[in-house]
Amino acid sequence: MLSTSNDELLDLARGGEELTMSGTGAPSGVKLVKKLGAGGMSTVFLAELDPARRAPELAQDTPERLAIKMTQPGAMQQLEACNIDHRSLIRKDSIALARVMAHKPPTENVIGYYGGGETDVIVRGKTMALPWLALEYVDGGAAGTSLHARVTGARDGIDPPRALRLLRGIFEGVRTLHAVDTVHRDLKPDNVLVAGPVDDETPKIADCGIARIAGVQSGTFNACTIEYAGIEQLRAVPGEFNPLIGTWTDVHALAAVAWFILAGEEWCRGANDSRYLFQGERRSLRSAQRLHPGLAADAALLDRIDLALQRGAAARLPPDCQAAAGVGSKAAQLYAAIAATLPPTPRYATVAELVSELFPPLEALEARWKERAAGEGRAATAFRPTMMIQAMQAGASPARVIEHAPRPIKGTGSQFGVDVPALDPRAIVFQSDGRVLAKFGSKLIYFAEGQPHRVAVPADVEPVVDRARWLSRGAGGGFAVVGARELVLVRAGKVWPARLPERANGGEVGDVQAVYGDGRVLGVVTAGTDDSDGSPELWQTSDGATWSAPAELAVRGDIRRIASGPYGFFAVGAASNGKSARAVQLGFNGQVTTMPWVKDLPPLDLVVCGAAREAWAAGEEVVVRLERDAAIREPCELAGAPTAMALDLGGQPWLVTPRAVFRRHADAGEATWRRYYERGAARPALVGIGFTPRGAHVYDAMAGVVDIEPFDVGSWQQH
């Protein structure tokens, strides 16, 4: 049996014992591996699941590595002393997260939930039944796992593109919770986990233990973090329902979290900052010591951001909240007693209201910063460094390769290769947390921890999905399904048609040729028309509804792939006759650099950008390093056309062909591509690749998976 000598459970994972279910003593299949962290109420452990021993309380798709959140004995005693059932913390967390997980796909911006229970633990000689939850294990790798760690670790502050990516994800996560009638009540940097490298971060809202959930009755628990709590929380009375709590409570915390991301420090200066906590005074971003230069470049735009954040965290509550609260509670009476002394501007009532005021000036600053950075020849945003594999490591092979057969699609009985057609290489996309969406004909299949789930596509949208050619990350989260002239967005269990770009003057827009998405922005390249002077054009959207003005790529031919990096975009493709390559670089300042030196190469089908000004591109039997003034062939034993290309967490490019997987190395100072995996011609073709801190995941056309753990995977992980 598990045992511990302290209330924070700090030594609970020392023996690797299995959790047992209280009351029955039945095994759970879960063993604690190590402590990940401890808060005021709970301790979180990394754990491993033996699927053969999985308790029925855990979902069938529970991953083999997960996080176990367990209520601390001391917290249980404190709650019981306040006549509050200690199970209410776990119950709220589980209900809120289960509502989110009921969507397929769920949002990537709220942590995953797989079930829970109680386990018997000997606490200083006394056996106690401690509640626990099984949650998604978020490994942020070397960059850190919490938002707090990522922001404080950014030496020069968070640049505008990175800030917008983080903020869009966090705001989307909170909006998803509000959509399932949940007010989080304790948003703060430590309750936001982050997956992915610095240029592809996915924030995830965690810890709904003190949330207010519509329809769920439980004791009122008034814990909060003063630096992020609204004035209505600071006037709550223990054990009494507080009618002043609402979506605006999370809006206050979101404004404070946004200030932390932009400023690199907390808005409130601590428990003694009475001007912030009780008088509603909000200092300007100008007072921050770690504000990124890109955010300070335009005083007028910075003032607009300040005003939006100040209103988002205003002490005066929204009018509807004040009217509804009345004076029926002590909290409302305490607020009414000071309301006349508060600044007159009320707080935004909803996340959407804050977004409408905050994001436009941030986007304008982002655009100006990108243009300035391009003019100065510097990177516009943080990007994972390229950690070159040196000659001494060149002979190393993958540490482990594991092949997984495709699983039946959950809830449908369908089998890949029987009821579901083969997967096209353009029709699979990976999120930075390792989750995947794939299009098999008219069917959208979402893979979480390798388990496939059918996405419910409306009948009128299904023909559009069937005709579509590409899958991509969506605008502001989720996914995009793109056809030559059609667009479908997929987010938080919803699938709906959207509009591709149109000219304001009604002029012709060409068919889509290529698509890219980075989790924040969706971009499409359309074919040249008379209205574009025959050049392909790049259009971008950050919300899936409005599109930026097009950027001409100034190249004759077809664009087959486009990728973004810290200096701009690389686009590659073929001449109009389909016989030779074309390539172009588009800087963030609009400068277009064509690359005539690729004309002697066969058409290029794939491209990824590196941390410097380089990119790597591939076509049939050719791999090249693209620079501003050269295209350098690199040795690779390709056979046929490549199907996928991506950067790993160490910044090295990988290349997938139908039969093999390659990774870039440096042998005696010369770049070469080493084969990491190979399969026979009779097996399904390999079509896509993604990465987590545990290695590469390669999918084939029938949804089989090859896990490849490189020998240097330790450098990808947090230490």
Mean pLDDT of 516-536: 94
Which CATH number does 142-382 carry? 1.10.510.10
Is 109 in contact with 172 (CB distance < 8 Å)? yes
Per-residue confidence (pLDDT) for residue 376, from 0 to 100:
93
Q: pLDDT tens digit string along 633-644? A: 999 998 878 999
Per-residue confidence (pLDDT) for residue 718, from 0 to 100:
67
Q: What percent of the chain has pLDDT over 90?
A: 70
Per-residue confidence (pLDDT) for residue 394, from 0 to 100:
47
Which residue ranges does the chain devote to CATH 1.10.510.10?
A: 142-382
On the question of pLDDT at 414 being above 80, the answer is: no
Per-residue confidence (pLDDT) for residue 217, from 0 to 100:
67
Q: pLDDT tens digit string along 142-157? A: 889 999 999 999 989 9
Per-residue confidence (pLDDT) for residue 348, from 0 to 100:
97
Q: Which is nearest to 445 in space by CA: 471, 483, 474, 484? A: 471
Is 433 in contact with 465 (CB distance < 8 Å)? no
* Angstrom distance (rounded) from CA 438 to CA 698: 13
Q: Reduce the DSSP state of residue 701 to 3 states and report it.
A: coil
The pLDDT confidence band at residue 398, using thresholds 50, 70 and 90, is: confident
| Side-chain half-sphere exposure of 695, counting CA atoms within 13 A | 16
Per-residue confidence (pLDDT) for residue 241, from 0 to 100:
80
Is 649 in contact with 387 (CB distance < 8 Å)? no
Residue 343: what residue type? Answer: P
The pLDDT confidence band at residue 426, using thresholds 50, 70 and 90, is: very high
The pLDDT confidence band at residue 391, using thresholds 50, 70 and 90, is: very low
Give me the residues paired with residue 401 across strands. 708
Tokens 């050719």: give the residue: 622
On the question of pLDDT at 295 being above 70, the answer is: yes
Mean pLDDT of 437-449: 93
Average pLDDT, the chain: 90
Is 436 in contact with 430 (CB distance < 8 Å)? yes
On the question of pLDDT at 15 being above 80, the answer is: no
Top-confidence residue, 395 or 609? 609
Say if domain 1-137 classifies as CATH 3.30.200.20. yes
Top-confidence residue, 325 or 334? 334
Mean pLDDT of 533-540: 95
The pLDDT confidence band at residue 412, using thresholds 50, 70 and 90, is: low
Per-residue confidence (pLDDT) for residue 407, from 0 to 100:
87
* Angstrom distance (rounded) from CA 315 to CA 207: 25
Per-residue confidence (pLDDT) for residue 696, from 0 to 100:
96
Alpha helices in 225-298 (DSSP H): 231-234, 247-263, 274-277
**Residue 646 dihedral angles phi and psi, to the nearest 5°:** -160, 160
Q: How big, in percent rounded to 5, are the helix, strand and coil portions of the chain?
A: 25, 30, 45
Q: pLDDT tens digit string along 195-252? A: 999 999 999 999 988 888 988 765 556 667 889 999 888 877 776 788 889 999 999 9
On the question of pLDDT at 504 being above 70, the answer is: yes
Burial of 16 (0-12, 13-18, 19+ CB in 10 A): exposed
Q: pLDDT tens digit string along 40-91? A: 788 999 999 999 999 999 998 899 999 999 998 887 877 777 667 777 778 8
Which residue ranges does the chain devote to CATH 3.30.200.20?
A: 1-137
On the question of pLDDT at 322 being above 70, the answer is: no
- pLDDT-wise least confident of 104-118, 276-290, 397-411, 451-465: 397-411
Per-residue confidence (pLDDT) for residue 638, from 0 to 100:
87
